[in-house]
Structure formats: C-alpha cells, structure tokens
Amino acid sequence: MSSRERNHVTVLGNGEKTIVFAHGFGCDQTVWRRIVPAFENDYRIVLFDYTGSGSSDKTLYSKERYSSLDGYALDVMDIAEELNLAHVIFVGHSVSSMIGAIASIERPDLMDQLIMIGPSPRYLNDGAYHGGFEREDINELLDMMELNYKEWAKYLAPVVMKNEERPELTSNFEKTLCENDPIIARRFAEVTFTSDVRDRLDDVVVPTLIMQTREDAISPIEVGEYVHSHIKGSEFVLMDAKGHNPHISDPEETIQVLRDYLTGDNH
C-alpha cells in the first residue's frame, strides 16, 4: 500500500514551496483546518495522519515499528519519498516537533525550516531538568486510558486546552480524543510520554522556530526554552495563547507567528 493511502495524505494549495503540517498525539490532520486556508494560496500543503491515527489504515499499525518516535519519523520520510518532497517547511505540533527533528537529522535535504509548536524532548522530570511530569503521573494516565478511555479523554481535554472560559474548545477536543482506537492511542501515549530525545537536539541543523504558549500543562515554558537553548540558531516566540493547542484555540495568532517567520518579518 502507498503511504498516500496508509497515512490518508491530503495535498492542497498552489504554491511552489511545500508546508507539511504534522499533528500531535491523540489528534489527526483535521486539527489544522483553521490554519491551512491562510496558506494554501501561496504554498502547497501536505496533511496526513500518522499510522494508527485519524483516517490512516489502522490495520498497518505495527507495535514494533511504532515502539519509538523513529517509527513515526519513518512515516514522514516515506510520505516525502512518495510525493518527491524536499526542502519543505515542516510544522510539527507537540510530539511531532521531535518526530520532525528526527526526520530532519535522518534526511538532511528534507526540510528548509522546522517549526515546533509546544515541543518537548522529554516529558518526564529528570534531576534539574523539569519536563512537567513525574513517572507516577504518566503511569496513572496510562492506567486510566486502559481502564476507561472515555473518562481519560474527559479528564485530559480541559488540561490540554486550558481555555476554561471557552468550554466548546474542550468538548470538541474531547471528541477528537474519543475518535482514536483506545489500544493504539495508549501505545502512542506511552511512546510519547516516555520518550527522551534530548541528546538529539544538538544534531538539528535546519533553521528552527519554537512556538511556545503560556500556561501549557503538557510542555511548560522552561521546556520550550530548553529546546531553544539546545538547537543552534533557533528562534523562540512566546505567544499570548494559553494551553497546548494554539492552532485550535488561537488560530489567528498562530497564523500570524507562522507568517512572520516565513516572510522574515520577525527577523
């Protein structure tokens, strides 16, 4: 089966330059629906679902291949090879920031720019490194997913969205989480929340933008600053948006930050 079918690849837009938008854990390509229209007149847009997520072919999900973030980076590289993509702008949300970083190291010609939204190279605290979670937190999260997936989604959605005054954002995100296969989602969660790619950040040489929101319970500000300090020449933008999903909660600001970076207006 082609990557195009396996990963439910969507190609839109008219530009010569390509932007690849990569969704985070628990999501699919539909999370970019309020961002894409701002760019499709000037860029070619590639959207996809990681194997096991969204409308991908879940029968092709392999526990072995996706036992680390490298397996998800392979999805990115397979899609790029099939669509003959090189020198793209890669926009990765959350765990996709690190998946994109891995792909950029493995295939140096793949990206001209790497844009990370709410990145974290390690979610677990480790000595002086504050990732935001203790091991017990993650174990509880994984146990909850196993025992009652819908209750887990109900618990996680408001923590992630952090926009209490806009409850519709939380309920919509809860719905997105509930559309996942619970078994695959739990495995993806374990891979995501126990990953540690801190030692690979120094190998990222592509120009990188880190977009960090305030009050992010998943990737705290100090984590974004850590990524910024370990990727040579990277740029860091602290957004006004709150929560872990600014592309959903604050699309206008997200579009503006992306535009400013891509046109060089913030340099």
SS3 217: coil
What's the order of all strands across the beta sheet hosting 44-47? 10-13, 44-47, 18-22, 88-93, 111-117, 208-214, 235-242
The whole-number pLDDT of residue 1 equals 79
Residues with a catalytic annotation lie at 94, 216, 244
Tell me which residues of the chain have a pLDDT lower than 70.
266-267
- Pairing of β 44-47 and β 10-13: antiparallel
Name residue, tokens 């629906």: 33
The whole-number pLDDT of residue 26 equals 94
Domains of the chain: 3-121+197-263 (3.40.50.1820)
Residue 200 structure tokens: 């690979």
The whole-number pLDDT of residue 27 equals 95
The whole-number pLDDT of residue 2 equals 93
Q: Smallest Cα–Cα separation from 212: which of 223, 222, 201, 224?
A: 224
Contact assessment for residue 28 and residue 13, using Cβ atoms and an 8 Å cutoff: no
Phi and psi angles of residue 11, each rounded to the nearest 5 degrees, phi first? -120, 125
For the range 37-42, what are the long-range contacts, defined as Cβ-Cβ under 8 Å and sequence gap of 24 or more? Answer: 38/255, 38/259, 39/13, 39/255, 39/258, 40/12, 40/13, 40/14, 41/13, 41/14, 41/15, 42/13, 42/14, 42/15, 42/17
pLDDT digit string, tens, across residues 120-135: 999 999 999 999 999 9
Residue 184 structure tokens: 């695959």
* CA 179/CA 181 separation, integer angstroms: 7
Write the CB contacts of 191 (distance below 8 Å, at least 6 apart in sequence): 66, 67, 68, 69
The whole-number pLDDT of residue 134 equals 96
The whole-number pLDDT of residue 266 equals 58
